Amino acid sequence: MHSIEIGTAVSSAPGLAKGFLKTGELPDGRPVQTPVMIMRGAQTGPVLWLHACVHGNEYCGTFTLHELVHGLRPETLKGTVIALPALNVTAFEKNQRMSPFEGYAGGDLNRCFPGVADGSFTQQIAYAVYQQLRRHADFFIDLHTAMTQDVRWALFPNLPNQVGRTADGIARAFGFSSTLPAPPDILAGAAAMTAAKDGIPSFLAEVGGKAANFTPEAVSDAAERLRNVMRHLGMLEGTMTDYGPLTYFSNFAWVHATKGGLFQRSVRCGDRVEAGQPIGQYFDLFGAPAGEAHSPKPGVVLAIHAGPIIATGETLIHVGLDPQQA
């Protein structure tokens, strides 16, 4: 069995290997180290790479990867699962989306792939991670959360080739009804888009809500859906669950708030909305109604701001466009 080495995580036999991948250095000179788990099956098979907390406070993904990896048995696993559960670890520690050490370029790690070896703090993280991802991954899944507890949607880079078709199969096995076959020209710099263009079928799931918003049920459900993906990929035995038909979108509308204040949403993720339909209510500091927020487009609510306060420029709503059964 050949050795897989990712930082200090070295796997050369069936079972779980753990270690850390260095992705940079802190201002005091100590290393930034992101945790790596390699679960090796007893039988040969493909390598599935998963990571979470590209955005540091999207902890639902961390717990989902922990539950998935600890539930796997080497004797029934074909191939290898590589899981990095807390990718943007300095942001993870600070309970924020982006690294507190990033001063440039916005620091959205999911716009920095494939990274730059001598770029900004976040570009260097992306570089260190992507070198390993491209070398080892046959398939790639990226876990995110959006804002609220009821978030359940997914996307895959819809390349017009076998990579896109394989990703479509992963999306169906994961089985979230709201799924975006992402046009190849959006989300440039996302790990999923970058990996797909390098020939690695990729998938991104948005589950459960930011920080403490998620439930143990969402974690367990997402872990089971990941097992279903692994059954589909031939990495696990067992009967596949059919989650039913999916709703595909042509694209999404990502709407930023142009008004600040106290905010209370009035729609849930998965709801159908019309253009101009109220989606939430603003209040001023005195509790007086201060205007409604409206959906700019018809479609399905993929994500919406959690409130209770919102500043201009924050993501107000994310709408899946042109829903059609697929």
Partner 1 sequence: MRDFEVGSAHSHGPGVTTGMLQVGYLPDGYPMEIPVIIVQGAQDGPVLWMHGCVHGNEYCGAYSIHQLVRTLDPAELKGAVVALPVLNITAFQRQQRMSPFEGYNGGDLNRHFPGNPAGTLTDQLAWHVWQPFKKYADFHVDMHTAMTPDTRWALFAPAEGPVGVKAEAMARAFGYENILPSPLSILGGSSLIEGAKAGIPGLIVEAGGLGPAFSMETVADVAQRLRNVLRVLEMLPGAVEQHGAVTFFSNFAWVTATRGGLFKRAVQCGQRIAKGQIVARFYDVFGELVEETPSPEDGVVLATGAGPLMPPGEIVVHIGLNPRAA
Q: Which is nearer to partner 1, 163 or 269 (CB)?
A: 269
CB of 287 vs partner 1, minimal distance in Å: 3
CA 212 to chain centre: 16
Q: Which is nearer to partner 1, 23 or 213 (CB)?
A: 213
Q: Which is nearer to partner 1, 308 or 313 (CB)?
A: 308
Q: Give just the sign of the alpha carbon dihedral 99, 105, 110, 114.
A: negative
For 164-191, letters b (16+ CB in 10 Å) and e give bebbbebbbbbbbbbbbbbeeeebebbb
Per CB under 8 A, residues contacting partner 1 are 18, 35, 37, 59, 62-63, 65-67, 69-70, 85-86, 89, 92-93, 95, 148, 211-214, 262, 264, 283-287, 306-309, 311
CB of 305 vs partner 1, minimal distance in Å: 9
Q: Which is nearer to partner 1, 107 or 208 (CB)?
A: 208
CB of 98 vs partner 1, minimal distance in Å: 15
Dihedral, CA atoms, 176, 178, 179, 180, nearest 10 degrees? -160
Dihedral, CA atoms, 123, 117, 198, 319, nearest 10 degrees? 0
Q: Which is nearer to partner 1, 145 or 194 (CB)?
A: 145
All residues at 6 or more sequence positions from 317 whose CB lies less than 8 Å from its CB, including other chains: 253, 255, 279, 293, 295, 301, 303, 304, 305
For 101-116, letters b (16+ CB in 10 Å) and e give bbeeeebbbbbbbbbe
Q: Which is nearer to partner 1, 275 or 309 (CB)?
A: 309
CB of 213 vs partner 1, minimal distance in Å: 7
Neighbours of 203 (CB within 10 A): 28
The H or E element that residue 90 is part of is helix 89-93
CB of 324 vs partner 1, minimal distance in Å: 32
Q: Give just the sign of the alpha carbon dihedral 204, 207, 210, 216.
A: negative
Beta-bridge partner residues of 300:
272, 320
CB of 265 vs partner 1, minimal distance in Å: 10
CB of 20 vs partner 1, minimal distance in Å: 9
Q: Which is nearer to partner 1, 31 or 308 (CB)?
A: 308
